[in-house]
Amino acid sequence: MSVLVTGAGLIGRLTAGLLAARGERVVLADIRAPAGLAIEPCDVTDAAGLEALVVRHHVSAIIHTAAMLSTGIRQDPVAGVLVNVMGTVNVLDIARLHRLRRVVCASSSTVGYTTFGRHDAAPIEEDLPLHLISERPASIYAASKIAGEHFAWLFHDLYGVDVVSLRYAAVLGATAEPPSSVPGRLLARLLEGARTGSHVVLDDPFMAWDGGEEFVDARDCAAANVAALDAATPVQRVYNVAPGGWCTLAEFVAAVREVAPGLSVTLPPPSGKGFAGFPHMRPAPSDTQAAARDLGFRCTHSLTDTIRHVRDMTL
């Protein structure tokens, strides 16, 4: 039996590596193969092809990380919905048909960003009260992720599919390719400025925020995926994957400068908005107690450790 990891992006590759290191048979699938990686070609929007892959490799569980990120979805919203929503439904339905032992789905903390305007200073819980109209998702990416969570719940409730959804905070990690995520592009821009000695002007509104934001190391996301795969009783089904702390933009820049002392930056004026252009500032970090209780998982990498790792891996 083997574990299928969909998506050969950073988190998918790290997850596959952790599973292989402990002796699992792993199938890493994507529509394209990054250089130097053995990838099974598969498009999650192709239900028949995905099912054939599951049968051929005797897959017993799936960790589903394949997705289009917010930048790509803004450019091609139909493709983003097909990948993020229909791709997830295909994974869940194959798990239903073949009675897989578990599915772990990558979600995002952005599903709750629109509730921040009325949330108090308590840690952000998973079971957020959400006004369906006034607090509707503020991006197609967030809408696709909350849809994925709802479909996961429905396949669990109606068909008994054993599925866990993980809401990653803003992910940072080292990639061989130019980063496409907002946090990845922000960090790459700052590190490049420090490396070249050029002054950085943060004039992109998506790369700035007022208040605090939380960032998670991609290595912690991979560890959370494996913890969710192994958890005996993940009764809550949806879990925050976050460090339990947060930082302002100035503190983020200071952490980069600690690793890259030559950094020179002009910060933007206050906007009153949260991270990546979302309308409300984050009122608190995410609550991580449920992940610790049910999955036995806590993040282990500090922001400075993450930045240093990204710097060293991209030199």
To which residue do tokens 């869940």 refer?
92
What's the confidence (pLDDT) of residue 123?
Answer: 97
Mean pLDDT across 79-101: 98
**Is pLDDT of 23 > 90?**
yes
Banded pLDDT at 32 (limits 50, 70, 90): confident
The angle, 0 to 180 degrees and rounded to 10, between the axes of the packed helices 182-196 and 303-313 is: 70
Q: How far apart are the C-alpha atoms of 157 and 313, rounded to whole Å?
A: 43
**Is pLDDT of 3 > 90?**
yes
Compute the half-sphere exposure of residue 81: CA atoms within 13 Å on the CB side of its CA. Answer: 7
Residue 124 CA from chain centroid, whole number = 17
69-78, 91-100, 251-260: range with lowest mean pLDDT: 69-78
Q: Name the token pair of 213.
A: 């934001």
Do 218 and 172 touch, CB atoms closer than 8 A? yes
Q: How far apart are the C-alpha atoms of 74 and 81, rounded to whole Å?
A: 11
Mean pLDDT across the chain, nearest whole number? 95
What's the confidence (pLDDT) of residue 71?
Answer: 84
What's the confidence (pLDDT) of residue 38?
Answer: 78
Do 108 and 143 touch, CB atoms closer than 8 A? no
Do 194 and 263 touch, CB atoms closer than 8 A? yes
- pLDDT tens by residue, 204-257: 888 899 999 999 999 999 999 999 999 999 999 999 999 999 999 999 999 999
Q: How far apart are the C-alpha atoms of 183 and 244, rounded to whole Å?
A: 17
What's the confidence (pLDDT) of residue 35?
Answer: 56
**Is pLDDT of 177 > 90?**
no
Do 276 and 269 touch, CB atoms closer than 8 A? no
What's the confidence (pLDDT) of residue 36?
Answer: 63
Q: Where are the domains of the chain?
A: 2-169+217-242+287-300
Q: Which CATH number fits domain 2-169+217-242+287-300: 3.60.110.10, 3.40.50.720, 3.30.2010.10, 2.60.40.650?
A: 3.40.50.720
